[in-house]
Structure 1
Amino acid sequence: MMTDDFSYDRLPYPSKFFVQTFPDRLATQATLFGMDPPAVETCRVLELGCGNGSNLIAQAYIMPKATFVGVDLGIGHIDDAKAAAAELGLTNVEFRQMDVMEMSEADFGKFDYITAHGLFSWIPDVVRERTLGLFAELLASNGVGYLSYSAYPGAHEREIAQRAMRFASRNISEPTEKVATALSFLKFAAENTPNRGTFQQTLANELKRHAVHAAADVFHDDLSDLNTPFYFHQFADMLGEHGLQFLAEAELHAMGTNDLSAAARNFVDSLDDAVEREQYLDFLRGRAFRQTLFVHRSADLERDLEPSIVDRFLIASSMRPAGAEPDLASAKVERFVGPKGTGIELDLPLAKTAIAKLGTVWGRALPFGELVEDSKRKLSEAGFAADDWESQIEIVRKIVLQIALASNMIELHVYQPTAETAASSMPRISRLARWQMKNAANVLTQFGLDMKIEDRVSRHLLQLLDGTRSRNAVFDELGKFIRSAHDIEGKHEILRTLPEWLDASLGDLARIGMFEA
């Protein structure tokens, strides 16, 4: 399948990582639905279509006891991946330039987790068939696979714009010029179509979607002649033909019904078949992209979840009390909100105290048992005495499970990497974060958080935290940078509050796991 003009060598993908493909995410969903998946800490991971290795490099860095193998057809991609791994001193990740049609178990052995992001819909039918065959052959008996793909019915709308863009750029071969021409016509069409109804809105929506995409994303995902969407039931049938079965979506809350009307929620919740349920959800939401987890057909899955399953997880949440002085030790209703303003209302003292605790350590996940015991202790110190702690704990289990299934305001985990939880006298963020600051848009914390740091002052602070400067030196150099920059708004106020801002920033960076020893 290799060609001299392989498109990914002409315009490589930008450096990205996808936390939804990380072993912790896959193992968490498998555990939730009754499996005993391979231990994350020492697992063996394969990524098909690994690109320049950014995704595996991030995982290999924060999981030093695990083993990672990346395969990609692009020579340039693999060269970049090997260079990055060498720069970071990683010995637990290997990259191979290879066609998936040539891969076999004899060459690779079995893997606990296999992923392929942005591959399945963008390859020929024969390669797609072989890809599924590789999952069936190479995946451990209790392992988990991940595939992302374009999905109908939502992809029907995207195809309108994609086909127009392809036609407008059909005679252009140079990638960046091709993308510019395609997007220019899409903008022209959205602004000038005489059909001001649904058609115009579709074009406008696609134009807005592409506004945040890199040229390489548009070139490979939307201008490729190969982009085959599937209805979910079709994808599930393909899994079945290879002895595999649907497990869950990589983003657990995508399977929830919280955003539906009462009538739609009742309808979907009445469906017993998992595949049928997911297909109807796609019809109701107009889903255009899926990130699906699957396992061997022999795996015995438990779809009827009991609250007691929560005991097996580490729990994380960014929610904090909306009020400055929340009453946690009474039955008073308190609201807890996340960074985007969405939230929940709770009145149970143990639940309120537990959620408040999670907010103070956000970035880190706590074992459910530890979280409950800490919350009980705090309530006892505040003078609260429960008649029956067990009944309160059971309610907290139900609340945690319900929120985790319905939204991303509570996260479940089975594994958490280690990190320094305080800034030293010579603060040093991880080598991975420093590398990503130069090569990627986002930064991965040691705890596995995906952080987008856009303001110039914060980005410069991270560049200074390389372990060669004391806190005072960091303060001095940061001040010099702010004073010399001409395009930072409100610099005088920033400089006035810089000591407090720096202390708070170092504390926040420590809390989310940015530092290493």
Structure 2
Amino acid sequence: MKQPRTAYDDVQYPSGLYRTTHPDHLAAMARLHGLAAADPRKARVLEVAGGDGFNVLAMAAALPDARFVNIDLASSAVARGQALADVAGLANARIEVADVVEAAGSLEDEFDYVIVHGLYAWVSPPVQEATLRLIDRVLAPEGIAYISYNALPGCHLRKAVREMLLYELRGVADSADRLRHALVILEDFAKPREDDGLPQAALRKTAQLMVEKNRDSLFHDELGDVYDPKALHEIVAEAGRHDLAYLTDSQPGGLFHGLPGEPLDDAAVVRLAQLADYRDTCFFHQSLFIRPGRHPDRVADPAMLGSLLAGAPMGLRRTGRTLFEVGEGKFEVGDEVLAGFLEKVIRCAPARLSLSWAAESHDYCQALLHLANRGILELHSLPFPGAIQPGERPCANALVRAMIDRGETRLFSLDHRLIAITEEGPRWFLSLLDGSRDRAALAAEWDAAGMGSQTDVDTAIRQLAQAGMLSA
């Protein structure tokens, strides 16, 4: 049956990679709570409303023995994604047109990980309910479901600015005109006024953040038909009616929501997390759910942390004996053991290092968890899935090469990061790395193209491996 045309067919939503949806990360979150989770390398993964499926296609390229399915109602997005999967030869990924409401009553497969990113707060209550029914239908007994959504109380501010926009855009029907007028309104409203108090300043800051967004995201997120942010306790109650129980939050800043440090029951865990939301004016959640009755640990066990691996977030660097930076944040690590470990993590990236050395130390366990909660350290259940030291015939994964052939400049690494490569030389060189050429042949083509004056082939290969771009 032909699916109706959607707003996402008319205005393409930008593709993205979401590291906190990756099965490697979700399995690590489960293990921190003393729970078994399917091995991500052989897992069955469903993404609901994932657009063109780029998020799961990148996962599929890194985990060839796992199985991935993405469903979305926008047929044009699905066609783009499946075409890319076909060109890249990704036999372990399917991008399909499907309606969530219909799939909630018909999808027969079982999945270890279910991802619902960027849907729940932008659809009507019947579709929200169908989404939870779908998860209940397909989630394996030891499965993990990820649901992201705009959260309250913070998004009361966003709702207020959206209401102003919609009021001023009455009668403007054309999509391009609505977006153009919305930007004019937001830019004017975001300008500080001399007599602004705290409420006005907060609303103007919210408007400025909207101005800075990707234009297509603004069109769908702020100007869409539905905007229904949720308080944590509300979505937990809604999920509970569909045999789903709250585990924790998947994003940095929310790690201790599920590990309050006391052996509390689920209701008390949710209450504390909700109170933290009010205290911190939470704007966004990435909530994880499991089947009820699994009794997750609510006190961190050093042995569980010790079974994981640590990786470096993008941009982490050491600036002094005890000083580090990541992004725009600066911090100090006074403990020599921790500082030395962070230095090793930085030097070894994209490889990941075992945390087994902290398995018997409560103090180091807590310190490492606090680093992870601040986004200074990443926790993984799997080793890096690419080549750290490429062989004689280096190979970039087929999906990256297919994307280069299509002229795309937003590529990805095998540790699930977006990487922009706009220069023609590196893009051309990546396209050569299909495993058929040895280093001597690559060097000959490199020199013939006049690239030898910039750097040698071995250095170029090493740099691509350090960026996490090579599979062999």
* TM > 0.5 fold call: yes
* Per-residue deviation, 1:48: 1.0
The reply to whether residue 345 of structure 1 matches residue 333 of structure 2 is: yes
The reply to whether residue 399 of structure 1 matches residue 367 of structure 2 is: yes
* Per-residue deviation, 1:28: 1.0
**2:455 aligned partner:** 499
- The correspondence of residues 219-230 of structure 1 with structure 2, limited to 5 A, is 219-230=219-230
The correspondence for 1:362, drawn from 342, 349, 356, is: 349
* Per-residue deviation, 1:5: 4.5
TM-score by length of 1: 0.79
Distance in structure 1 (CA, Å) of the matches to 2:178 and 2:449: 43
Higher gyration radius (CA):
1
1:310–1:368 contact (8 Å) kept in structure 2: yes
The reply to whether residue 152 of structure 1 matches residue 119 of structure 2 is: no
2:350–2:388 contact (8 Å) kept in structure 1: no
The reply to whether residue 232 of structure 1 matches residue 232 of structure 2 is: yes
Shift in CA distance, 193/409, structure 1 to aligned 2, threshold 3 Å: closer
1:165–1:182 contact (8 Å) kept in structure 2: yes
**1:515 aligned partner:** 470
2:352–2:384 contact (8 Å) kept in structure 1: no
2:187–2:208 contact (8 Å) kept in structure 1: no
* Per-residue deviation, 1:425: 6.8
Cα deviation 1:423-475 (Å, max 9, x = unaligned)? 567765333334556676743212x1414437x55x74234322267346547
- The correspondence of residues 4-153 of structure 1 with structure 2, limited to 5 A, is 4-104=4-104, 107-153=107-153
**SS in structure 2 opposite 1:182?**
helix
Look up the equivalent residue of 2:243 and give its one-letter code. G
Cα deviation 1:277-313 (Å, max 9, x = unaligned)? 2112211221122111111112211001122222211
Cα deviation 1:22-50 (Å, max 9, x = unaligned)? 11111111111111011111111111112
**2:396 aligned partner:** 429
The reply to whether residue 315 of structure 1 matches residue 310 of structure 2 is: yes
Greater alpha carbon shift after TM alignment, 114-123 vs 435-444 = 435-444
* Per-residue deviation, 1:414: 0.7
Distance in structure 2 (CA, Å) of the matches to 1:156 and 1:15: 27
**1:419 aligned partner:** 386
1:152–1:287 contact (8 Å) kept in structure 2: yes
**2:438 aligned partner:** none
Distance in structure 2 (CA, Å) of the matches to 1:123 and 1:306: 38
**1:175 aligned partner:** 175
Distance in structure 2 (CA, Å) of the matches to 1:91 and 1:287: 40
Distance in structure 2 (CA, Å) of the matches to 1:43 and 1:134: 18
1:271–1:277 contact (8 Å) kept in structure 2: no
Shift in CA distance, 178/425, structure 1 to aligned 2, threshold 3 Å: farther
**SS in structure 2 opposite 1:86?**
helix
Shift in CA distance, 22/196, structure 1 to aligned 2, threshold 3 Å: same
**1:443 aligned partner:** 411
Shift in CA distance, 452/310, structure 1 to aligned 2, threshold 3 Å: same
The correspondence for 1:467, drawn from 413, 424, 432, is: 432
Distance in structure 2 (CA, Å) of the matches to 1:307 and 1:478: 54
Shift in CA distance, 463/161, structure 1 to aligned 2, threshold 3 Å: farther
Look up the equivalent residue of 1:119 and give its one-letter code. L
Distance in structure 2 (CA, Å) of the matches to 1:322 and 1:193: 39
Distance in structure 1 (CA, Å) of the matches to 2:193 and 2:113: 47
Distance in structure 2 (CA, Å) of the matches to 1:191 and 1:408: 31
Distance in structure 1 (CA, Å) of the matches to 2:209 and 2:446: 39
Distance in structure 2 (CA, Å) of the matches to 1:125 and 1:168: 26
2:263–2:299 contact (8 Å) kept in structure 1: no
Q: CA RMSD in A?
A: 3.2
Greater alpha carbon shift after TM alignment, 434-443 vs 163-172 = 434-443
Look up the equivalent residue of 2:369 and give its one-letter code. L
1:15–1:439 contact (8 Å) kept in structure 2: no
1:2–1:99 contact (8 Å) kept in structure 2: no
**1:189 aligned partner:** 189
* Per-residue deviation, 1:342: 2.3
Shift in CA distance, 337/170, structure 1 to aligned 2, threshold 3 Å: same
Distance in structure 2 (CA, Å) of the matches to 1:507 and 1:290: 37
Distance in structure 2 (CA, Å) of the matches to 1:21 and 1:59: 10
Distance in structure 2 (CA, Å) of the matches to 1:210 and 1:460: 35
* Per-residue deviation, 1:145: 0.3
User: Where does structure 2 lack aligned partners over 5 or more consecutive residues?
Assistant: 434-440
1:426–1:467 contact (8 Å) kept in structure 2: no
1:165–1:183 contact (8 Å) kept in structure 2: no
Look up the equivalent residue of 1:359 and give its one-letter code. I
* Per-residue deviation, 1:354: 2.8
Distance in structure 1 (CA, Å) of the matches to 2:280 and 2:366: 26
1:24–1:415 contact (8 Å) kept in structure 2: yes
2:302–2:362 contact (8 Å) kept in structure 1: yes
1:12–1:77 contact (8 Å) kept in structure 2: yes
Shift in CA distance, 5/466, structure 1 to aligned 2, threshold 3 Å: closer
**1:488 aligned partner:** none
1:24–1:414 contact (8 Å) kept in structure 2: yes
Greater alpha carbon shift after TM alignment, 466-475 vs 58-67 = 466-475
**SS in structure 1 opposite 2:68?**
strand
Distance in structure 1 (CA, Å) of the matches to 2:140 and 2:233: 24
Distance in structure 2 (CA, Å) of the matches to 1:160 and 1:421: 49
Shift in CA distance, 415/56, structure 1 to aligned 2, threshold 3 Å: same
Look up the equivalent residue of 2:468 and give its one-letter code. G
* Per-residue deviation, 1:112: 0.5
Number of residue pairs aligned between Structure 1 and Structure 2: 457
Cα deviation 1:346-392 (Å, max 9, x = unaligned)? 344x44443322111122212334xx4xxxxxxxxxxxxxxxx998x
1:45–1:112 contact (8 Å) kept in structure 2: yes
The correspondence for 2:295, drawn from 284, 297, 300, is: 300
Shift in CA distance, 219/311, structure 1 to aligned 2, threshold 3 Å: same
**SS in structure 1 opposite 2:172?**
coil
Cα deviation 1:461-499 (Å, max 9, x = unaligned)? 23432226734654775769xxxxxxxxxxxxxx8xx43
Shift in CA distance, 461/208, structure 1 to aligned 2, threshold 3 Å: farther
Distance in structure 1 (CA, Å) of the matches to 2:202 and 2:402: 38
Distance in structure 2 (CA, Å) of the matches to 1:118 and 1:390: 36
Identity score, percent: 24
* Per-residue deviation, 1:238: 1.1
2:104–2:130 contact (8 Å) kept in structure 1: no
